[in-house]
Amino acid sequence: MLNIPDALLAHADFLQTLHLKEKEQKLIRNKLKNMMLNEVFSFVFQLNQSEIKYTMLIKKNKAKKGKVYFVNLVQQQLDANFVKEQELSMILKSSLIATWVFNLDDLTFKINNFSKMLFPKTKTAIFYLIEDFTKLIYQEDIERVQKAILEAAEKHTELDIEFRVLNQQNYPVYLAMRGHMLKHNADKHYLAGILIDVTEKKNLQKQAENLRLNQQRVILDATYWAQEKERKKISEVLHDSVSQLLYGIRLNIQGLQLSGFKNEAFVNINRLLDQAVKETRAIAYDLKPSILIDFGFVTGVKELAERLSTANFNIKAYVNTLSDKLHPEVQLSLFRIIQELLNNIIKHAQATASEIIVFTDDEKVDLSVHDNGKGFDAKHPEILRGSGIREIKNKVFLLNGTLNIQSKKGKGTHIAIRFRIADAIAALSVILNIKHLS
């Protein structure tokens, strides 16, 4: 052991230049006294009240006949670690990235000072219990975030989740939280990672999605109007041409019968012509429901229910009178949806009864259609992708509405559709513009 007197240590130049407190000087004295011969001793000492760090390199100089010399003393305002910390801090700030640590032993959650900028509603504290930290998060996201953090901690899996917090103006800010497990030693376990502000990215994604939906709506709108235009043409041809020809043939046959021809073949021909006239009328009606223009939406829906009802299938329709005040294009779109729903029931449901309810107020429209048929698995992807359901989805999409399907095998089917009138008119404005230009 080196024998270094306290007096020598007390008056050493480096101790005087450091301006250390008594406790701190004692620490260095003890280190020096316990140095082994020929040992190189190096340590980093940081003052409690300052960010200044001192790196000391002390060794015995053999060339000086056993006398102790302090060969190297380096005082650094910023050592390599401090520089790295500063560089990391600047990188995090410039890239809107913050750090967090979740202590699994005491369940405390620590965020760095920059993280607090991402949580505008926080107080000055940077330590939280996990429950308190998640209270900073958007209400609808809390359970999902808690589950993800605890699952990553328990299973030692990577954490990658996005959630929302509220800013000072109570608008949502989107954050991405990423991290993984760290082992400090055998007894200490941490989940640590970064927080990234991804609000701008989310907004760009939302804009791209809105653009995609608008493009899809334009295509569907154009297709819808083209179909309606062709339906109108075919309906007019059937009504003005084919129906008139059938009427003429029937009148001629009736004239022959009145002249004395009582052949049974004429009776059968007359019966078939009557059926042809009825079916032609029905087709023309489906293609162009002029009853909506002539008698209104309420009468049109009730007439549709009555016309499609049979001895084995009864349809009841309840429509409030405000529906007659809907915009004509909204009426037509809603009528087409009801037609499609009833046709699906007739083709697939094997139902004996169905009920249509249309409720309208000044702001919204609610349509519900129920049947007592065989039902189906509403979660089955193949069924939901079927042409009937797909056609209804497209029509509801054109109205900016929502579609809810509830069905179970053997329990019938209930379909609910809702849309705001203003949103529907705005969505159909493309159709109105196309019609105006046509």
CATH number at residue 360: 3.30.565.10
**Same domain? 281 vs 331:** no
Q: Let me know whether 167 and 65 are in one domain.
A: no
Same domain, 322 and 437: yes
Q: What is the pLDDT of residue 353?
A: 95
Per-residue pLDDT tens for 45-69? 444 434 444 444 444 444 444 444 4
The pLDDT confidence band at residue 98, using thresholds 50, 70 and 90, is confident
- Report the predicted TM-score, pTM, of the whole model to 2 decimal places: 0.50
Of the spans 271-285, 348-362, 379-393, which averages the highest pLDDT? 348-362
Q: Using only C-alpha atoms, what is the Rg of the chain? A: 41
State whether residue 342 is helix, strand or coil. helix
Q: Is residue 314 part of a domain?
A: yes
How many CB atoms are closer than 10 A to CB 279? 12
Residue-wise over 386-402: b if at least 16 C-beta within 10 A, else e? eeebebbeebbbbbbbe
Domain-embedded: residue 380: yes
Lowest mean pLDDT among 28-42, 365-379, 424-438: 28-42
The end-to-end CA distance of the chain, in Å, is 105
Domain span at 20: 6-77
- Both tokens of 108, joined, read 């405390």
Res. 120 pLDDT band, cuts 50 70 90? low
Q: Which of 20, 43, 77 is the last residue of a domain?
A: 77
pLDDT tens profile 287-345: 677 788 888 999 999 999 998 999 999 999 999 999 999 998 899 889 989 988 998 99
| Same-domain pairing of 270 and 346 | no
Tally DSSP H helices, then E strands, for the chain.
17, 14
1 within a domain of the structure (yes/no): no
Higher pLDDT, 108 or 151: 151
User: Are both 120 and 169 inside the same structural domain?
Assistant: yes
pLDDT band for 257, please (50, 70, 90 cuts).
low
Last residue of one domain, picked from the residues 197, 232, 249: 197
Question: Is 95 a member of any domain?
Answer: yes
Asked if residue 404 belongs to a domain, the reply is yes
Q: What percent of the chain has pLDDT over 70?
A: 58
73 shares a domain with 87: no
In the structure, what pLDDT confidence band is assigned to residue 41 with cuts at 50, 70 and 90? very low
Say whether both 314 and 436 belong to one domain.
yes
Of 238-247, 291-300, 368-377, least confident by mean pLDDT is: 238-247
Give the chain's mean pLDDT. Answer: 73
Above 80 in pLDDT, residue 157? yes
Same domain, 313 and 404: yes
Give the pLDDT confidence score for residue 131 in this predicted structure: 72
Q: Give the whole-angstrom CA distance, residue 174 versus residue 206.
A: 12
* pLDDT value, residue 190: 82
In a domain, 362, yes or no: yes
pLDDT at 8: 43
pLDDT above 90: percentage of residues in the chain: 18
Greater model confidence, 284 or 337: 337
What DSSP element (H or E) covers 73? strand 72-76
Does 214 have pLDDT greater than 60? yes
427 shares its domain with 300: yes
pLDDT at position 326 is 93
- Please tell me whether residues 68 and 150 are part of one structural domain: no
Look at residue 54 in the predicted model and tell me its pLDDT.
45
Highest mean predicted confidence (pLDDT) among 122-136, 238-252, 329-343: 329-343
Domain boundary among 77, 101, 131: 77
One domain, residues 95 and 192: yes
Comparison of pLDDT for 140 and 16, the residue scoring more: 140
Banded pLDDT at 89 (limits 50, 70, 90): low
For residue 6, what pLDDT is reported? Answer: 46
Q: Out of 216-220, 257-261, 293-297, which region has the weakest mean confidence (pLDDT)?
A: 257-261
Residue 108 is part of a domain; what is its CATH number? 3.30.450.20
- 132 compared with 356, residue with greater pLDDT: 356
Whether 53 is in a domain gets the answer yes
235 or 161: whose pLDDT is higher? 161
Crossing angle of the two packed helices 429-437 and 199-237, in degrees rounded to 10 = 50
Residue 336 lies in a domain: yes
Residues 227 and 277 in one domain: yes
Quickly state the pLDDT bin for 145 (edges 50, 70, 90).
Answer: confident
Q: Which helix (H) or strand (E) holds 276?
A: helix 264-287
Number of folded domains that form the chain: 4
Tell me the C-alpha distance between 68 and 174, whole Å.
62
What is the Cα 167 distance to its own chain's centre?
A: 20
